[in-house]
Each structure stands twice: as structure tokens, then as C-alpha cells.
């Protein structure tokens, strides 16, 4: 479930440890894959990467990009099921590998995706071109002050959950984080954003900071998330689902996504 913490921990940090400061000896990309779009053929991608040194690995929201010693620079998006892998032997290549790099220390780095929502793009100036330039502030690195939230929410009629999912508003929040934050902040997800009062907006902002911050501190290791988090109970749409405190969980569609929420707690 790649939302901001998963992309940060299983994506950017993994890539930084594996490839930052290293050079790409050879590159392979699966032919005829939609993973490589925007006019970037597998050939163009491998050409752009071969022989390059990776200077840094970045992330904003759920988008990642690498700065190479020479452009264009690759952008990576996990979609629903993408992942990175770093390994010593070609035999350890993950199933569904779409791109594989051989590095100058003899190791291998792969981008894999069992489905086809993951994407790799090439950009000359990533931060100043779409999709990065269209993103709102990063929910982890650049979480705006509560005054900004109050100002922004005041002119939005959309359900607060739908707004949290809007990447041009705030980058990185996905379905489970949106539900978790609404639950912990005690706000019903379908409430129009503009109807939240100042205290609720502040609670929302504070909760967002805590949930995203803790998830990243814990390396997006779900087993370390507190028992009381809705996260552990929200999967599977079980109509008998209860929170750790014994509260009934309802499932509705808000912002076009399945939404787990607790009517007894969220107003």
C-alpha cells in the first residue's frame, strides 16, 4: 500500500542506500510496457541511465526522482503495487521486474510492479516540470502550519477526506492515511472541508503530522503501528469490524474510495 511512508521507507531510503553515489553499469527495461510512458521507450530509459552516476534520491508525496550526473533524470511512481529491490545475484530478481540496473559495486537494483499502474518518466528538470510541479506541499517534509489549513479548507466544499486525497492540495496522503487521520482527529470523512471549525482543523493538522511522522519513524513497518490505529482493522470491509476499543466500523464510499470510519467517534 504505497502511500507516503511506504514510498519514503521502502522506496526513497532503499534507493538512497543502494544507488546514491554509485554508477549504472548497464540497464534493462521490459519491452512493451506502459510503465514507461510520455514518449519514453524502454530504449530511451536504458540509454538515459547507462553510465550515469546517481547523485541523490528524492521524494515528494508519492513521487520519487533521482538526480543523475547528467540529465534527463528518472522519476519513479509505485502506483498501487510497485516496489524496489536491491540484491547481489541476478537470480534474486523479483517477479514482475520492469527495470533492472547493474551497479558499479556488482549489485543489482530493480523496479518491479505486478500490475501496471507504476510509472517511470524522464525529466530534464524534475522539480519544475509535471508531475512534481503540480503537487501540493509534502505532508512529511513540508507540512504547512495550521493557519494555512484553515485558509485552504475555508474555500473547499469537497468532503474533507477527498481533499486529503487530492495530491495537488497536499502530497502523499492516500486512502489509509486519510481514514486514519479522520478517525484519530474525530472528524467524519464526508464532512465538507469548509465546515470544519478551527479546533477541528488544528486537530486534523496535528494528527496528520503524528500519523505520517510515526509511520516514517517506524519504517512503515505495520507491526509497529499502535494497536489502537484504525489501520489494523480497516482491511477486508468486514461488516462486523470493531476498533481496538470495541467501536463499530462502517464502510462507505467517500471521495470515490472505500472509507472506513467510526460514526460513534467521528463527527
Starting from the edge strand earliest in sequence, which strands make up the sheet with 24-29, in order? Answer: 24-29, 97-103, 108-112, 83-87
23 interacts with DNA by CB under 7 A? no
Catalytic-residue membership of 3: yes
193 belongs to the binding site for DNA (CB under 7 A): yes
Whole-Å CA distances, 212 to 11, 39, 127: 15, 34, 22
133 part of the interface to DNA, by CB under 7 A: no
Q: Does 61 bind DNA (CB under 7 A)?
A: yes
Confirm or reject binding of residue 233 to DNA (CB under 7 A): no
94 binds DNA per the rule CB under 7 A:
no
- Number of residues located near DNA, criterion CB under 7 A: 36
| Under rule CB under 7 A, residue 174 binds DNA | yes
Span near DNA by CB under 7 A; candidates 18-26, 47-55, 154-162, 196-204: 154-162
Under rule CB under 7 A, residue 2 binds DNA? yes
Contact 179, 204 (CB under 8 A): no
- Note whether 50 and 79 are within 8 A (CB): no
Nearest distance in Å: CB 173, DNA: 7
Beta-bridged to residue 142, according to DSSP, are: none
Distance CA 219, CA 107 (A): 23
Burial class (CB in 10 A: 0-12, 13-18, 19+), 201: buried
| Active-site annotation holds for 62 | yes
Per-residue CA distances from 224 to 86, 153, 216, 217, 227 (Å): 24, 32, 11, 10, 9
Active site residue 214: no
> Least distance from C-beta 126 to DNA, angstroms?
13
**Active site members:** 2-3, 62
Binding site for DNA (CB under 7 A): 1-3, 34, 61-63, 77, 79-81, 114-117, 131, 156-159, 162-163, 165, 167, 174-176, 193, 235-237, 251, 255-258
Amino acid at each position: 500500500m504505497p502511500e507516503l511512508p511506504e514510498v519514503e521507507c521502502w522506496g526513497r531510503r532503499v534507493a538512497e542506500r543502494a544507488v546514491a553515489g554509485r554508477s549504472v553499469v548497464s540497464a534493462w527495461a521490459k519491452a512493451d510496457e506502459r510503465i514507461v510512458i510520455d514518449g519514453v521507450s524502454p530504449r530511451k530509459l536504458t540509454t538515459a541511465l547507462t553510465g550515469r552516476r546517481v547523485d541523490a534520491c528524492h521524494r515528494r508525496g508519492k513521487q520519487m526522482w533521482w538526480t543523475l550526473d547528467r540529465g534527463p533524470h528518472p522519476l519513479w511512481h509505485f502506483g498501487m503495487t510497485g516496489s524496489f529491490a536491491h540484491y547481489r545475484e541476478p537470480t534474486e530478481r523479483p517477479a514482475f521486474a520492469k527495470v533492472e540496473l547493474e551497479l558499479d559495486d556488482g549489485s543489482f537494483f530493480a523496479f518491479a510492479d505486478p500490475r501496471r499502474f507504476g510509472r517511470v518518466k524522464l525529466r530534464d528538470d524534475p522539480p519544475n516540470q509535471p508531475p512534481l510541479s503540480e503537487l501540493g506541499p509534502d505532508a512529511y517534509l513540508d507540512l504547512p502550519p495550521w493557519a494555512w489549513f484553515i485558509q485552504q479548507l475555508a474555500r473547499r466544499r469537497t468532503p474533507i477526506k477527498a481533499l486529503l486525497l487530492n495530491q495537488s492540495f497536499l502530497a502523499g496522503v492516500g486512502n489509509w492515511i486519510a481514514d486514519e487521520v479522520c478517525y484519530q482527529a474525530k472528524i467524519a470523512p464526508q464532512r465538507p472541508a469548509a465546515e470544519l471549525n478551527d479546533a477541528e482543523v488544528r486537530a486534523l493538522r496535528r494528527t496528520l503530522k503524528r500519523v505520517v511522522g510515526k509511520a516514517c519513524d517506524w519504517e512503515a513497518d505495520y507491526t509497529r503501528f499502535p494497536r489502537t490505529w484504525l489501520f489494523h482493522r480497516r482491511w477486508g470491509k468486514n461488516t462486523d469490524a470493531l476498533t481496538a476499543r470495541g467501536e463499530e466500523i462502517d464502510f462507505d464510499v467517500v471521495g470515490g474510495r472505500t472509507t472506513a470510519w467510526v460514526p460513534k467517534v467521528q463527527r
